Amino acid sequence: MAINGKARRRRYPKLVFGETLSVAIETFRFSKVRFLLTALGMVIGTASLILVVTIGLTGKQYLLQQIQNIGSNMMVAEYLGGGIYGRDASSDFLTLDDLHAVREQVPGINNASPMIQFHDRVVVPGGKEREVIALGVSWEYQNIRNLVVLSGRFFDDSDIQARNKVAVLTQKLAVTLYGSEAAAIGQQIKLSGLPFTVIGTFRERVDTLGQSEISEDTLLVPYTVARFFTNSDEVKQLFFSVSDANEVPRATKEIHQVLQSRHRPESVYRVDNLTQLLDVAAKTANTLTKVLLLVSVLTLIVSGVGIMNIMLATVNARTREIGVRKAVGATNAEIRAQFLTEAVLISLSGGMVGTAVGLALPFSVRFLTNYRVPISGWSVVIAVLVSSLVGVLFGTAPAARAAHFDPIESLRYE
């Protein structure tokens, strides 16, 4: 009979597994509360894992988008100084000719603007004076810096060519001087005694908290007019942009080469872009996601310990059942498979429900709002695999304990 039994199990493994699964489900039917409470930990752990990955990806997407809104395709060139003994390099600043040379020699440049900076004081309500920063730029500066025009308009190429004395104010400066953005349009603001007509207000697409060249008290004027305040062709910075962000590293290098070739060897120039900042932000977000992911995995492991404890208690409570099954011919392998199947079924069921719960929130945000929350398919795969693995790992000890029960002692157990 034993040989026939082994032969039957070899010929009908699916039948044996089906019987094992059927017994496990029947056991859970009679112990619904124990099953639900044991699986609850897996539900929470798996849902946490998926939500953590979703939150990490959302944070990464938001962070990168904020940096890109500053100008991910933007490059800024400036003169740092330099010189050799006995020779002054202080007059080797960047000029408008450098801007034209870069546009001619570096392919892919679609926007370019000089920046001439000067300071002045203007009268604010109450009779007091306030220091402002005036930046002389071209109309392309708006495209390079992704500026948002709130009211009125930005100056255009005709204003540049005609040297019109027009100005565009930051949102906060307009409110400070005239009470509102709309009220600022058409007003006259004097810089060094010259009246400039306010034609628009603007803000940065992303608030840089004063860490960029634009502060709260900044106004923009055509660079052709700003040159009269400096009486030279020198510029503080040169701004460039390309249409494809992948071209930024190449263009940055070539811009630096062009500028260096046009000036003395000992002069030092720097060309910056946001590519490195984007890389750092992406790596930081990925690292944070991994750390949070490990925390979620630890939650699953704690749930696995709970499953093991419950299964050990179940094994003790079903000692007589194990003795009866062994008495009618069940092998150690079948007993082991029975309890291991129950542990995996608890873990996997909790994992599947937790996966559904974890996906419900991001999908709800997608359906109910216009925000596209990123959803990682890998987080679902990892959640299901980890929940199954937890069931196997923490179900092995109770299953092995049940398989090694002595059938005679088990039948005597009260």
Q: Which residue has the higher pLDDT, 267 or 323?
A: 267
Q: Give the model's pLDDT for residue 279.
A: 72
Residue 198 phi/psi, 5-degree rounding, is -80, 120
Q: How, if at all, do strands 218-222 and 128-137 pair?
A: parallel
> Are the CB atoms for 199 and 143 separated by under 8 Å?
no
Q: What whole-number distance in Å separates Cα of residue 161 and Cα of residue 138?
A: 10
For all residues of the chain together, what is the average pLDDT? 80
pLDDT at 10 over 50: no
Q: Which residue has the higher pLDDT, 308 or 195?
A: 195
Each residue of 243-253: pLDDT tens digit?
A: 887 888 899 99
Q: Give the model's pLDDT for residue 87.
A: 47
pLDDT at 15 over 50: no
Q: Give the model's pLDDT for residue 128.
A: 83
Element (H, E) at 311: helix 275-317
pLDDT at 168 over 90: yes
**Sign of the torsion angle spanned by Cα atoms 243, 247, 252, 254:** negative
Q: Give the model's pLDDT for residue 278.
A: 67
Residues 6+ apart with CB under 8 A from 218: 132, 133, 134, 135, 169, 170, 173
Residue type, 359: L
DSSP per-residue codes, 158-190: HHHHHT--EEEEEHHHHHHHHSSHHHHTT-EEE
Considering 135-149, 301-315, 373-387, the range whose residues carry the highest mean pLDDT is 135-149
Give the residue-averaged pLDDT of 41-48.
81
Q: Which residue has the higher pLDDT, 160 or 387?
A: 160
DSSP state of 87: B
pLDDT at 393 over 70: yes
Q: Give the model's pLDDT for residue 123.
A: 83
**Residues paired with residue 200 on neighbouring β-strands, in sequence order:** 152, 168
Q: What whole-number distance in Å separates Cα of residue 265 and Cα of residue 259?
A: 10
Burial of 372 (0-12, 13-18, 19+ CB in 10 A): exposed
Q: What does the chain come to in residues?
A: 414
pLDDT at 261 over 60: yes
Q: Give the model's pLDDT for residue 161.
A: 94
Q: What whole-number distance in Å separates Cα of residue 235 and Cα of residue 372?
A: 42
Each residue of 186-235: pLDDT tens digit?
A: 999 998 889 999 999 999 877 655 557 888 899 999 999 998 888 777 89
pLDDT at 349 over 90: no
Q: Is the pTM of this model over 0.75?
A: no
- The model's confidence at residue 68, banded by pLDDT at 50, 70 and 90, is low
pLDDT at 17 over 70: no
Q: Which residue has the higher pLDDT, 88 or 331?
A: 331
Q: How many CB atoms lie within 10 A of CB 364?
A: 11
DSSP state of 112: E
